[in-house]
Chain A
Amino acid sequence: MERYKTIVDDWEAFSDTIGEPARTTVRRNPLKAGENFEEQLGRDFEHERADWNPDVYRLETEKPGKSILHWRGDYYVQEESAAYPVTVMDLEPGHRVLDMCAAPGGKTTQIAAAIGNKGTVVANEKSSNRIKSLHANANRLGCASVDITNYDARRMPEEMEFDRILVDAPCSGEGNNIRRGESASTEEEREGLADLQRQILEKACSMLAEKGVIVYSTCTFAPEENEEVVQQVLGEFELERIEPDFPHQRGLTAFEEKEYDPAMEKTVRIYPHHLESGGMYVAKIRRS
């Protein structure tokens, strides 16, 4: 991960996260959880609520999936940083929403909850293995608004325009791999993935309604898969500044020999030490 030494805000804190497990967090599912959710959660786990998102709870356990509440679908086990991208989608009941790379369904179920199951959520997953977990989670969490499809995201039918599109792109996953002590991705990996990410984002642009919003996210640090991918749609599209209520770093305007559009500063990088969680990159895109 040394290649990121020059861009990380606090290298010592960043380095200290290597080998440390992420904090255990769960997201309350309002589609099923009752009014006394917090009291019921307290029967099984010591917990505290995240101050930036009232649905996110930090638990004192290594086995957050071992409870009846989880079995029933009252919450979803999700890294704290992974709960962020959906919160910037400005979701409202009635929206048509597309989640292009949806498995295992953490963000899909969060979207269905945010629109209160009133509207349409198309949850697409290319992998026929991973789609099983998407089905299981959508069922468990009571997602009545979710259509599950099995297309290659780059070749989805353009028969519907969407008010909101989430491109939680396949990526090199450095934000999670760092905790397993793995090194940064290789140039070859990054190039292949960046090409795929570009194609998926272009497809999203072609399916977006006039006043729609695309949120692009990855769980990797590599600028080649983040700022460089987002930069290519600027012109016809523009970035909206996002501002998390927790420690974070702005998107990059330069890395190594490359310079990026100054607008990249409107995007956000979340490093593992910011939330004791996984890494995440998030950009919010609108038509110009």
Chain B
Amino acid sequence: MPRSDAVEYFRERFGVEVEDLEKISGDYWLFTGEKYGEPESRGFRFLRESEIGFKPTTYALQYLDDRIEKNRVELNEEEFRTLLEGEMIERVMDEKGYVALVYRDRVVGCGFYMDELVSSRIPKGRGKELLELL
């Protein structure tokens, strides 16, 4: 899908304008600079693309943080712990799709909402580290 679809996804789903997205090996990366030499990476991975659609990365949603206006899920400690342990929590939202998980006023990562349930999409290893910090 073209870059404009990725921009539109963030606008529609999270109510935020994103620039400087670059498609590299099938995913979109946020890179604000100029290319030099043969880099191992440029900026950081922002949006994955698959046959079923877009999935924002946890790093992307953390970076956008309080600019995210829609599909935020505020969590208390118990709910956050439940999600990181691989369980789901109940919520009623408008539409199925990815959400920004918010804890102590900060976006901590990516989640998924469907059928009045929210689950975590924070990468397992990172989630395990986080669980030890709660």
Residues of A within 8 A of B (CB): 31-32, 34, 36, 40, 43, 66-68, 71-74, 96, 117-122, 131, 135, 138-140, 142-151, 156-157, 159-160
**Min C-beta distance of A99 to chain B, whole Å:** 12
**Min C-beta distance of A43 to chain B, whole Å:** 8
Do A147 and B65 have beta carbons less than 8 Å apart? no
Closest 6 pairs (CB-CB, A-B) = A120-B33, A147-B39, A144-B43, A142-B63, A144-B30, A145-B33
- Contacts of A140 on B, CB cut-off 8 Å? 59
Do B41 and A40 have beta carbons less than 8 Å apart? no
- Contacts of A96 on B, CB cut-off 8 Å? 34
- A-contacting residues, B1-57, CB 8 Å: 20, 30-45
Q: Does B105 have its Cβ within 8 Å of any Cβ on chain A? A: yes
Q: Does B130 have its Cβ within 8 Å of any Cβ on chain A? A: yes
- Contacts of A68 on B, CB cut-off 8 Å? 103-104, 106, 108, 130, 133-134
- Contacts of B94 on A, CB cut-off 8 Å? none
**Min C-beta distance of B35 to chain A, whole Å:** 7
A–B complex contacts, Cβ < 8 Å, 14 sampled = A34-B66, A120-B34, A135-B40, A139-B45, A144-B31, A144-B63, A145-B43, A147-B33, A147-B35, A148-B41, A149-B38, A149-B39, A150-B40, A160-B34
A34-B65, A144-B44 given as contacts; is B32 within 8 A of A117 (CB)? yes
- Contacts of A149 on B, CB cut-off 8 Å? 36-40
Do A32 and B63 have beta carbons less than 8 Å apart? yes
Residues of B within 8 A of A (CB): 20, 30-45, 59, 62-63, 65-66, 103-106, 108, 126, 129-130, 133-134
- Contacts of B108 on A, CB cut-off 8 Å? 68, 72
A34 to B38, alpha carbons, bound, how many Å? 34
| Known contacts A138-B41, A142-B59, A145-B31; 13 further A-B pairs (Cβ under 8 A) | A34-B105, A43-B104, A67-B133, A68-B108, A72-B108, A121-B33, A142-B44, A142-B62, A144-B33, A147-B33, A151-B37, A156-B37, A160-B34
Q: Which residue of B lies closest to A147 (CB)?
A: B39
**Min C-beta distance of A87 to chain B, whole Å:** 21
Do B40 and A143 have beta carbons less than 8 Å apart? no
Q: Which residue of B lies closest to A162 (CB)?
A: B36
A266 to B103, alpha carbons, bound, how many Å? 48
Q: Which residue of B lies closest to A142 (CB)?
A: B63
A68-B133, A118-B32, A120-B34 given as contacts; is B62 within 8 A of A143 (CB)? no
Do B40 and A72 have beta carbons less than 8 Å apart? no
- Contacts of A138 on B, CB cut-off 8 Å? 41, 44
A67-B133, A138-B44, A144-B43 given as contacts; is B62 within 8 A of A72 (CB)? yes
A32-B63, A143-B44, A148-B41 given as contacts; is B104 within 8 A of A122 (CB)? no
Do B106 and A119 have beta carbons less than 8 Å apart? no
Q: Which residue of B lies closest to A67 (CB)?
A: B133
Do B62 and A73 have beta carbons less than 8 Å apart? yes
- Contacts of B33 on A, CB cut-off 8 Å? 119-121, 144-147
Do B44 and A40 have beta carbons less than 8 Å apart? no
Do B42 and A147 have beta carbons less than 8 Å apart? yes
